[in-house]
Amino acid sequence: MTHIGRRGLMAAAAGAAAALMAAGDAAAGGMTAGGAAAGDAAAGAHRRRRAPRREFRGMWLATVANRDWPSRPGLTAARQRAELVALLDTAVTRGLNAVVLQVRPTADALWPSPYEPWAQCLTGIQGKNPGWDPLGTAVREARARGLELHAWFNPYRVANHTDPARLTAGHPARLHPEWILPYGGKLYYNPGLPEVGRFVQDVVLDAVARYDIDAVHWDDYFYPYPVAGQVFADHEAYARYGAGFPDRAAWRRDNTDRLVRETAARIRRTGKRVRFGISPFGVWRNAATDPLGSDTRAGVQTYDDLHADTRAWVERGWIDYIVPQLYWLAQPRDVQDPANYTVLVDWWADVVKGTGVDLYVGEALYKVGDPAQPKGWQNPAELSRHLDLCATYPEVRGNIYFAAKEVAGDPLGAVSMIAERYRRQG
């Protein structure tokens, strides 16, 4: 999983599911800003009861644009299933114990969702039934191998193009054109619309109700990464809903906060032992912007550019785990080029300390051996050095590698080194 790779890649529920969602809505609706403290305390207590004990050793398995799986769209159901099972087997042989499977890559689904069409990455045609249930199969096969299965959702991305006519006819973005905005060559749901937030939650809660997943997992895309010379045109929504906020940035952050807070409440209200984790870009704010920030010089800051106050989500106990994408080299502390793995591990460990939120570190396996990357990434031991550093922090509970294709490919033998380390540790 990578902010670089991701940016380059790119009937309603009935019965018991509906009842679960309704209960969650009531809880979420009651969590106003004034009542957040009680909700935060309850969330923290719930999280601590179900925190796992073992070291988390995971891999992201990306489906957007067929990044990791399926190897190409249009394969038979049997071939797709065989490729998926082979990747799960690879995770086991590499010493991993969790797979984070992307089940909603572009506002389409890897399960029979009543809200969104079947994913295009499966058949090549959005909305076409692939003839099997990938998420259900993944959960079952992961269980058989002792793997956790975390369902990875991208909240707002609709398409890696800007033409709604290319979406399947019944796609929610075509039924509700007022929900979408083009930006940077892509289509997004508008986070400023309450009905969009409710819809995104409904999609997620449907999967929670149907499947025995271990966690709901969100990536780093909230408001889109900035594109020079372009404006995210949410001015109408801001005019309608932004009263009482000092500026549009504060309103946008509140929209993101609300989505995280309400989703957490609805997951909790199901009564299922499903965790909620988020994997943000690794820099909350630079210290030059905010003295509470990290000693970094990053060109993107999640608080300011993606309108995601990731630090606050940890402090308020809204999430069970956080996986900052620390996709930089581990260097001496005085090196900021523009950021430093060493400094950021220390910063995030301090953020989670005493909160009960688990810290897993996102690792840039995809950079290892890539000739376009700096020299340090040509060293097969770079990620092993990362694990050495993480081992000195009790707050770091594990690591997740981006992504499955590289876990299988073992660039420069780096994965074999990590797997041997895991075998020694048991």
pLDDT at 217: 98
pLDDT at 94: 98
Amino acid 326 reads: L
pLDDT at 52: 55
pLDDT at 15: 36
CA distances from 83 to 69, 75, 124, 258, 381 (A): 7, 10, 17, 38, 29
Mean pLDDT of 70-98: 98
Q: Which residues pair with 294 in a beta bridge?
A: 286
Nearest to 195 by CA among 212, 173, 215: 173
Both tokens assigned to 48: 């601590």
- Phi first, then psi, for residue 180 (nearest 5°) are -110, 155
d(CA 226, CA 56): 32
Mean pLDDT of 215-219: 98
CB 69 within 8 A of CB 28: no
Indicate the Cα dihedral angle 381, 387, 391, 397, nearest 10°.
-170
pLDDT at residue 20 is higher than 70: no
DSSP per-residue letters across 224-265: PPP-TT-----HHHHHHH-TT-SSHHHHHHHHHHHHHHHHHH
CA distances from 336 to 286, 344, 381, 412 (A): 11, 11, 21, 26
pLDDT at residue 23 is higher than 50: no
Nearest to 397 by CA among 367, 360, 372, 365: 360
pLDDT at 335: 87
pLDDT at 51: 52
CB 357 within 8 A of CB 321: yes
DSSP per-residue letters across 262-287: HHHHHHHHT-S--EEEE--BS-S-BT
d(CA 284, CA 246): 21
pLDDT at residue 191 is higher than 80: yes
Mean pLDDT of 133-161: 98
Stated pTM of the model: 0.89
pLDDT at residue 344 is higher than 60: yes
What number of CA atoms fall less than 13 Å from residue 147's CA on the CB side?
30
- The 3-class secondary structure across 188-209, one letter per residue, is EECCCCHHHHHHHHHHHHHHHH
Amino acid 339 reads: A
pLDDT at residue 178 is higher than 50: yes
- Mean pLDDT of the chain, nearest integer: 91
The confidence band for 336, taking pLDDT boundaries of 50, 70 and 90, is confident
Mean pLDDT of 71-83: 98
- Phi first, then psi, for residue 378 (nearest 5°) are -90, 0
pLDDT at residue 28 is higher than 80: no
Cis peptide before 338 (omega within 30 of 0): yes
Residue 368: DSSP 8-state: T
pLDDT at residue 254 is higher than 70: yes
Q: How many CB atoms sit inside 10 A of residue 329's CB?
A: 22
The better pLDDT of the pair 14, 129 is held by 129
pLDDT at 13: 34
Nearest to 17 by CA among 196, 265, 203: 203
d(CA 156, CA 136): 23
Mean pLDDT of 28-44: 42
The confidence band for 296, taking pLDDT boundaries of 50, 70 and 90, is very high
Mean pLDDT of 173-186: 98
Looking at the chain, the whole-number percentage of residues with pLDDT higher than 90 is 86
Mean pLDDT of 98-110: 98
CB 330 within 8 A of CB 336: no
Strand order in the sheet with 180-183: 157-159, 186-189, 180-183
The three-class DSSP label of residue 299 is coil
The confidence band for 47, taking pLDDT boundaries of 50, 70 and 90, is very low
Mean pLDDT of 272-287: 98
pLDDT at residue 305 is higher than 90: yes
370-419 pLDDT tens trace: 999 999 999 999 999 999 999 999 999 999 999 999 999 999 999 999 99
